[in-house]
A = this chain, B = another copy of it.
Amino acid sequence: MTTAQHTPKLTARGAATRTRIVAATANLVREHGAAGTSLDDVMAASRTSKSQLYHYFTNKEDLLRAVAWQQTDRIVEAQRPELDQLDSLAGLRRWRDKFVAARDEAQNVGGCPLGSLASELADGDPQTRTVLQKCFTAWTSPLLMGLTAMRDQGRLRPDADPDALAEAIMTALQGGLLLSNTYRSSRPLARALDMAIDHVASFATSREAAVA
Protein backbone atom coordinates (compact mmCIF):
# COMPACT_ATOMS: atom_id res chain seq x y z
CA MET A 1 0.00 0.00 0.00
CA THR A 2 3.02 2.30 0.42
CA THR A 3 1.88 4.68 3.12
CA ALA A 4 2.67 7.99 1.46
CA GLN A 5 3.97 10.77 3.65
CA HIS A 6 3.32 14.17 2.13
CA THR A 7 6.74 15.74 1.65
CA PRO A 8 6.17 18.77 -0.57
CA LYS A 9 9.31 19.90 -2.36
CA LEU A 10 12.28 17.60 -2.56
CA THR A 11 14.99 17.32 -5.15
CA ALA A 12 16.19 13.90 -6.19
CA ARG A 13 19.15 14.19 -3.89
CA GLY A 14 17.01 15.46 -1.06
CA ALA A 15 14.61 12.56 -1.39
CA ALA A 16 17.49 10.13 -1.39
CA THR A 17 18.96 11.66 1.74
CA ARG A 18 15.62 11.58 3.51
CA THR A 19 15.14 7.95 2.59
CA ARG A 20 18.62 7.11 3.79
CA ILE A 21 17.91 8.74 7.13
CA VAL A 22 14.63 6.94 7.68
CA ALA A 23 16.01 3.58 6.62
CA ALA A 24 19.04 3.89 8.88
CA THR A 25 16.92 5.00 11.80
CA ALA A 26 14.51 2.15 11.27
CA ASN A 27 17.35 -0.35 11.49
CA LEU A 28 18.75 1.20 14.63
CA VAL A 29 15.34 1.41 16.28
CA ARG A 30 14.61 -2.20 15.48
CA GLU A 31 17.79 -3.21 17.26
CA HIS A 32 18.02 -0.78 20.15
CA GLY A 33 14.59 0.73 20.56
CA ALA A 34 13.59 4.35 20.06
CA ALA A 35 15.04 5.61 23.34
CA GLY A 36 18.18 3.62 22.70
CA THR A 37 18.80 5.30 19.37
CA SER A 38 20.49 8.70 19.46
CA LEU A 39 20.59 11.19 16.65
CA ASP A 40 24.35 10.81 16.61
CA ASP A 41 23.87 7.11 15.91
CA VAL A 42 21.52 8.04 13.10
CA MET A 43 24.04 10.50 11.68
CA ALA A 44 26.77 7.91 11.66
CA ALA A 45 24.62 5.17 10.17
CA SER A 46 23.12 7.34 7.47
CA ARG A 47 26.25 9.41 6.75
CA THR A 48 24.45 12.69 7.35
CA SER A 49 24.77 15.67 9.66
CA LYS A 50 22.60 17.18 12.35
CA SER A 51 21.40 19.93 10.08
CA GLN A 52 20.15 17.39 7.56
CA LEU A 53 18.19 15.56 10.23
CA TYR A 54 16.55 18.81 11.24
CA HIS A 55 16.10 19.84 7.66
CA TYR A 56 13.88 16.85 6.91
CA PHE A 57 12.28 16.37 10.30
CA THR A 58 11.18 18.85 12.90
CA ASN A 59 12.51 16.76 15.79
CA LYS A 60 13.21 13.22 16.90
CA GLU A 61 9.55 12.36 17.40
CA ASP A 62 8.83 13.43 13.87
CA LEU A 63 11.58 11.15 12.62
CA LEU A 64 10.22 8.30 14.68
CA ARG A 65 6.79 8.75 13.13
CA ALA A 66 8.36 8.39 9.71
CA VAL A 67 10.05 5.26 10.98
CA ALA A 68 6.71 3.83 12.09
CA TRP A 69 5.35 4.22 8.56
CA GLN A 70 8.42 2.68 7.07
CA GLN A 71 8.37 -0.28 9.44
CA THR A 72 4.78 -0.90 8.49
CA ASP A 73 5.60 -0.78 4.81
CA ARG A 74 8.51 -3.14 5.35
CA ILE A 75 6.45 -5.63 7.31
CA VAL A 76 3.62 -5.66 4.81
CA GLU A 77 6.07 -5.89 1.92
CA ALA A 78 7.93 -8.78 3.51
CA GLN A 79 4.70 -10.70 4.01
CA ARG A 80 3.29 -9.64 0.68
CA PRO A 81 2.61 -12.96 -1.06
CA GLU A 82 1.06 -14.54 2.02
CA LEU A 83 -0.89 -11.48 3.11
CA ASP A 84 -2.66 -11.37 -0.23
CA GLN A 85 -3.99 -14.87 0.15
CA LEU A 86 -5.52 -14.81 3.57
CA ASP A 87 -8.91 -15.75 2.20
CA SER A 88 -9.00 -19.34 3.42
CA LEU A 89 -8.01 -21.32 6.48
CA ALA A 90 -5.28 -22.87 4.40
CA GLY A 91 -4.00 -19.42 3.48
CA LEU A 92 -4.03 -18.34 7.12
CA ARG A 93 -2.07 -21.41 8.07
CA ARG A 94 0.50 -20.81 5.36
CA TRP A 95 0.92 -17.28 6.69
CA ARG A 96 1.27 -18.57 10.22
CA ASP A 97 3.90 -21.09 9.19
CA LYS A 98 5.91 -18.53 7.30
CA PHE A 99 5.77 -16.12 10.19
CA VAL A 100 6.83 -18.63 12.80
CA ALA A 101 9.63 -19.92 10.59
CA ALA A 102 10.88 -16.38 10.08
CA ARG A 103 10.99 -15.78 13.82
CA ASP A 104 12.89 -18.99 14.36
CA GLU A 105 15.40 -17.99 11.72
CA ALA A 106 15.96 -14.79 13.67
CA GLN A 107 16.42 -16.92 16.81
CA ASN A 108 13.39 -15.13 18.21
CA VAL A 109 15.52 -12.12 18.96
CA GLY A 110 13.82 -8.73 18.77
CA GLY A 111 10.12 -8.19 19.10
CA CYS A 112 7.78 -6.74 16.55
CA PRO A 113 9.32 -3.59 15.06
CA LEU A 114 5.96 -1.91 15.21
CA GLY A 115 4.85 -3.44 18.48
CA SER A 116 7.91 -2.31 20.42
CA LEU A 117 7.62 1.13 18.92
CA ALA A 118 4.00 1.27 20.02
CA SER A 119 4.86 0.08 23.48
CA GLU A 120 7.47 2.79 23.78
CA LEU A 121 5.62 5.68 22.17
CA ALA A 122 1.91 5.08 22.67
CA ASP A 123 1.91 7.01 25.92
CA GLY A 124 3.69 9.95 24.33
CA ASP A 125 2.20 12.67 22.21
CA PRO A 126 -1.19 12.08 20.58
CA GLN A 127 0.12 12.74 17.08
CA THR A 128 2.47 9.81 17.33
CA ARG A 129 -0.22 7.63 18.82
CA THR A 130 -2.47 8.42 15.89
CA VAL A 131 0.24 7.33 13.48
CA LEU A 132 0.71 4.08 15.38
CA GLN A 133 -3.02 3.41 15.21
CA LYS A 134 -2.98 3.90 11.48
CA CYS A 135 0.03 1.63 11.13
CA PHE A 136 -1.68 -1.18 13.00
CA THR A 137 -4.82 -0.64 11.00
CA ALA A 138 -2.84 -0.78 7.75
CA TRP A 139 -1.20 -4.01 8.78
CA THR A 140 -4.50 -5.52 9.88
CA SER A 141 -6.16 -4.52 6.65
CA PRO A 142 -5.07 -7.54 4.57
CA LEU A 143 -6.38 -9.78 7.34
CA LEU A 144 -9.66 -7.95 7.25
CA MET A 145 -9.87 -8.23 3.46
CA GLY A 146 -9.26 -11.95 3.52
CA LEU A 147 -11.77 -12.64 6.26
CA THR A 148 -14.39 -10.48 4.63
CA ALA A 149 -13.88 -12.35 1.38
CA MET A 150 -14.26 -15.64 3.22
CA ARG A 151 -17.54 -14.57 4.70
CA ASP A 152 -18.84 -13.18 1.43
CA GLN A 153 -17.98 -16.42 -0.29
CA GLY A 154 -19.90 -18.30 2.35
CA ARG A 155 -16.85 -19.92 3.81
CA LEU A 156 -17.52 -18.25 7.12
CA ARG A 157 -20.91 -18.07 8.76
CA PRO A 158 -22.79 -14.78 8.28
CA ASP A 159 -22.54 -14.01 11.98
CA ALA A 160 -18.73 -14.01 11.81
CA ASP A 161 -17.40 -10.50 12.37
CA PRO A 162 -14.33 -10.03 10.14
CA ASP A 163 -13.39 -6.89 11.98
CA ALA A 164 -13.36 -8.58 15.36
CA LEU A 165 -11.58 -11.62 13.99
CA ALA A 166 -8.87 -9.58 12.31
CA GLU A 167 -8.27 -7.56 15.44
CA ALA A 168 -8.13 -10.68 17.57
CA ILE A 169 -5.55 -12.20 15.25
CA MET A 170 -3.44 -9.06 15.51
CA THR A 171 -3.56 -9.14 19.31
CA ALA A 172 -2.51 -12.79 19.28
CA LEU A 173 0.32 -11.89 16.95
CA GLN A 174 1.55 -9.04 19.12
CA GLY A 175 1.27 -10.91 22.37
CA GLY A 176 2.92 -13.93 20.78
CA LEU A 177 5.83 -11.87 19.55
CA LEU A 178 6.32 -10.27 22.96
CA LEU A 179 6.39 -13.57 24.80
CA SER A 180 8.46 -15.24 22.11
CA ASN A 181 11.02 -12.51 22.33
CA THR A 182 11.14 -12.78 26.11
CA TYR A 183 11.39 -16.57 26.14
CA ARG A 184 13.58 -16.73 23.04
CA SER A 185 11.27 -19.40 21.66
CA SER A 186 8.69 -19.37 18.91
CA ARG A 187 6.38 -21.53 20.98
CA PRO A 188 4.25 -18.74 22.46
CA LEU A 189 3.83 -17.16 19.04
CA ALA A 190 2.91 -20.48 17.46
CA ARG A 191 0.37 -21.22 20.17
CA ALA A 192 -1.11 -17.75 19.92
CA LEU A 193 -1.57 -17.96 16.17
CA ASP A 194 -2.94 -21.48 16.38
CA MET A 195 -5.50 -20.28 18.84
CA ALA A 196 -6.42 -17.37 16.59
CA ILE A 197 -6.79 -19.57 13.53
CA ASP A 198 -8.84 -22.11 15.48
CA HIS A 199 -11.03 -19.23 16.46
CA VAL A 200 -11.58 -18.31 12.82
CA ALA A 201 -12.16 -21.96 12.04
CA SER A 202 -14.93 -22.07 14.62
CA PHE A 203 -16.88 -19.80 12.29
CA ALA A 204 -16.20 -21.88 9.19
CA THR A 205 -19.00 -23.41 7.18
CA SER A 206 -18.95 -26.91 5.75
CA ARG A 207 -17.94 -25.37 2.43
CA GLU A 208 -14.70 -24.06 3.92
CA ALA A 209 -14.15 -27.27 5.84
CA ALA A 210 -14.16 -29.07 2.50
CA VAL A 211 -11.43 -26.76 1.20
CA ALA A 212 -9.36 -26.85 4.35
Contact = CB atoms under 8 A, between A and B. Distances in A.
B199 A175 contact: no
A154 B167 CA distance: 32
Interface stretch (A16-24, A73-81, A143-151, A182-190): A182-190
A43 interface: no
A120 B119 contact: yes
Interface residues of A, number: 46
Contacts of A129: 182, 184
A209 interface: no
Nearest to A30: B123
Interface in A110-165: 110-111, 115-116, 118-120, 122-123, 129, 132-133, 136, 164
A185 B45 CA distance: 37
A120 B80 CA distance: 28
Contacts of A198: 199, 202
A97 B175 CA distance: 19
B120 A182 contact: no
A171 B199 contact: no
Interface string A164-198: 10011011111110110111100111011011101
